């Protein structure tokens, strides 16, 4: 497969940064899409990183604007999206396998549309090959076209389309979102990457680093807090570089403190770049009790010479020194990492340095990968390590990581920790699963109504990849505490209180009342004149519709429904 698109991207990106274009979603919905798909189902399948997950949530939000609902499985979908990843091995083969699943949809529904999106579409020629092989693929887009999904899909219904722009440096705010989790949320703070590691396709697929405005980030986070979310993860390919492109002096440590001040119970961030993580960021973590003492700190290799070939901008010694400094500032810090095995030119001596670094760093967990070349990246042109050598080293690394992970997990036994409950286990509905602030998975028996609650759990056994615990408090008290928290932070409650005290809001209520009385009077006086009565009725109904959508009315209905649901839950528990 040729790599012209990536080569062109590389040259253009190296030539310099262009100014970030910032726009807002206009909310326009193509009539042809509304007519064809309203009331039908969509399905979004996402591969890869948290950034891809967040893109998938946005695309689902856009489809929901058409009046569509999420399908429970692929065969129910009238529109399906495969959101691809180019980082993992055999990305193309996985894509082809997924596309084949939708042949039946295409055969039974003439309006079925399959969209292929994501980072893998930056691979030159892949989109064209997909279009040639699969007639049910209507649209191919990259990560940059997510905000234009609806308009591009409308065009694709008339003529199948490939729209991939790997160099775009744009940020679109105000896009709708259909979040996958009702308690934990991802919030993008930046897009793209400027590091150009020799093995990585991300800078070519997602463009140069560009930071969102702090006002937009904080607004999104406040909305999540007021909606009852318990955890926010700030996302970026390199969150530590946030704000460097803006050149206004407002950087990641400043943002971390401000987001923490929104009152979100738990705050995380992904991913950090070791040489850019500074003391101010560590101090911000330590100063904010709701910032989780958990740090993903990718090392990739324990060998300085190998790191140099990777294009990583630190040495082994600098990485360990930075890690020691952060741990001295943030008590109880849990550190995870990424490690690549079999990178081009990796010698046995270099691999031995990686093993020794794993032991010295004492990781809580690690994601390990056998290197696989990505088309268009410099490392793909280097001398490759034989597959059997890479595999043997991977097994040795896996053993070293599991020893480190097990040793860390053992430190939790006998402790009582706070767990944010994700919900019942898929294998056993009587077992709940959730995570500690350090990011350790905990399984423990408990009632399903604790989903979304922060509960105290005593750890009674450690496993390599999870902990086993038992509730350390009455579950009803934990639920009641959760309800109390949600009520205190509900936007509707706060807004209702502020509206009562706000003179401008009282004036707004009086204005609505006067308009309603005037419309009613006009409607009554028009009786006997069919044309005038019809017009007055239309105006009256339009006014009622605007009142129904007024924030005060919306907040009242939401608050009423929320209180009714929560009180019903508590009543049910008390009656048991």
DSSP string, 527-559: TT-HHHHHHHHHHHHHHHHHHHTSHHHHHHHHH
pLDDT in tens, 263-285: 999 999 999 999 999 999 999 99
Tokens of residue 227, six digits:
């909606």
State which H helix or E strand residue 322 sits in: helix 316-329
Per-residue model confidence (pLDDT) at position 502: 47
Per-residue model confidence (pLDDT) at position 11: 46
pLDDT in tens, 374-413: 878 899 999 999 999 999 999 999 999 999 999 999 999 9
Domain with CATH 2.40.50.140 in the chain: 416-479
Q: Are 253 and 281 in contact (CB under 8 A)?
A: yes
Assign domain 184-392 to its CATH superfamily.
tm_1862 like domain (3.80.30.20)
- Sign for the CA dihedral angle at 146, 150, 155, 157 comes to positive
Per-residue model confidence (pLDDT) at position 121: 86
d(CA 190, CA 158): 34
Q: Are 35 and 46 in contact (CB under 8 A)?
A: no
Q: Are 492 and 562 in contact (CB under 8 A)?
A: yes
Per-residue model confidence (pLDDT) at position 487: 77
Q: Are 121 and 141 in contact (CB under 8 A)?
A: yes
Per-residue model confidence (pLDDT) at position 562: 59
The mean pLDDT values, 10 residues at a time, for the chain of 576 residues are 42 57 89 94 93 95 95 95 80 80 92 93 84 94 92 94 75 93 96 92 86 96 94 96 92 98 96 96 98 98 98 97 98 97 98 98 96 89 96 98 96 98 91 97 96 97 94 92 79 47 54 74 78 81 68 60 63 59
- Sign for the CA dihedral angle at 169, 261, 226, 451 comes to positive
Domain with CATH 3.40.50.12160 in the chain: 4-173
Q: Are 163 and 149 in contact (CB under 8 A)?
A: no
DSSP letter, residue 300: B
Per-residue model confidence (pLDDT) at position 548: 63
Of the candidates 447, 446, 434, 355, the residue with the CA atom closest to the CA atom of residue 401: 355
- What b/e readout covers 213-249, taking b as 16+ CB neighbours within 10 angstroms? ebebbbebbeebbbbbbbbbbbbbbbbbbbbebbeee
d(CA 500, CA 352): 67
Domain with CATH 3.80.30.20 in the chain: 184-392
DSSP letter, residue 249: S
d(CA 262, CA 40): 37
Assign domain 4-173 to its CATH superfamily.
Methylthiotransferase, N-terminal domain (3.40.50.12160)
Answer CATH for 416-479 from 3.20.20.10, 2.40.50.140, 3.40.50.1980, 3.40.720.10: 2.40.50.140
In Å, what is the CA distance from 239 to each residue of 27, 273, 367, 437, 532? Answer: 29, 8, 19, 19, 61
Report strand pairing: 161-163 vs 113-118. unpaired
């Amino acid at each position: 497969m040729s790599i012209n698109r990536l080569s062109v991207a590389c040259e253009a990106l190296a030539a310099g940064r262009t100014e970030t274009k910032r726009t807002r979603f206009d909310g326009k919905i193509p009539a042809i899409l509304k007519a064809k798909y309203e009331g039908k189902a969509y399905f979004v399948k996402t591969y890869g990183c948290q950034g891809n997950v967040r893109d998938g949530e946005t695309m689902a939000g856009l489809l929901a604007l058409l009046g569509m609902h999420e399908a429970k499985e692929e065969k129910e979908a009238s529109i399906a999206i495969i959101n691809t990843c180019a980082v993992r091995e055999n990305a193309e083969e996985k894509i082809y396998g997924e596309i084949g699943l939708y042949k039946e949809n295409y055969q039974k529904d003439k309006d079925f549309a399959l969209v292929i999106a994501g980072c893998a579409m930056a691979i030159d020629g892949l989109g064209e090959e997909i279009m040639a092989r699969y007639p049910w693929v209507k649209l191919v887009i990259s990560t940059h076209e997510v905000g234009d999904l609806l308009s591009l899909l409308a065009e694709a219904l008339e003529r199948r389309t490939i729209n991939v722009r790997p160099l775009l440096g744009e940020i679109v705010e105000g896009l709708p979102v259909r979040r996958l989790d009702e308690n934990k949320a991802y919030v993008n703070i930046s897009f793209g990457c400027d590091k150009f590691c020799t093995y990585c396709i991300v800078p070519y697929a997602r463009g140069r680093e560009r930071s969102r405005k702090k006002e937009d980030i904080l607004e999104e986070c406040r909305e999540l807090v007021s909606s009852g979310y318990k955890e926010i993860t700030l996302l970026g390919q390199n969150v530590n570089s946030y704000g460097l492109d803006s050149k206004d002096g407002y950087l990641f440590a400043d943002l971390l403190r401000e987001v923490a001040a929104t009152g979100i119970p738990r705050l995380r961030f992904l991913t950090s770049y070791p040489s850019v993580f500074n003391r101010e960021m560590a101090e911000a973590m330590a100063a904010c009790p709701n910032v989780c003492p958990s740090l993903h700190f990718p090392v990739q290799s324990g060998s300085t010479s190998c790191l140099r070939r990777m294009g990583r901008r630190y040495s082994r010694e600098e990485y360990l020194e930075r890690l020691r400094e952060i741990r001295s500032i943030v008590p109880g810090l849990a550190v995870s990492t990424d490690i690549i095995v079999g990178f081009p030119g990796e010698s046995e001596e270099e691999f031995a340095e990686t093993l020794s670094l794993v032991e010295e760093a004492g990781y809580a967990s690690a994601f390990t990968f056998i290197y696989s070349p990505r088309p268009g990246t410099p490392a793909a042109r280097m001398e490759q390590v034989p597959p059997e050598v890479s595999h043997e080293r991977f097994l040795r690394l896996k053993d070293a990581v599991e020893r480190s992970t097990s040793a860390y997990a053992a430190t939790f036994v006998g402790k009582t920790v706070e767990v944010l409950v994700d919900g019942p286990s898929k294998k056993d509905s009587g077992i709940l699963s959730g995570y500690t602030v350090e990011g350790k998975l905990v399984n423990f028996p408990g009632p399903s109504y604790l989903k979304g609650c922060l509960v105290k759990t005593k750890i009674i056994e450690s496993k390599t990849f999870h902990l086993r615990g038992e509730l350390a408090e009455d579950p009803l008290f934990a639920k009641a505490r959760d309800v109390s928290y949600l009520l205190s932070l509900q936007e509707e409650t706060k807004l209702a209180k502020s509206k009562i005290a706000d003179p401008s809001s009282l004036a707004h209520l009086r204005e609505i009342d006067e308009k309603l009385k005037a419309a009613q009077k006009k409607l009554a006086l028009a009786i006997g004149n069919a044309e005038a009565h019809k017009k007055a009725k239309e105006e009256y109904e339009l006014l009622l519709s605007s009142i129904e959508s007024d924030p005060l009315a919306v907040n009242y209905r939401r608050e009423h429904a929320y209180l009714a649901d929560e009180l019903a839950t508590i009543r049910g528990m008390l009656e048991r």
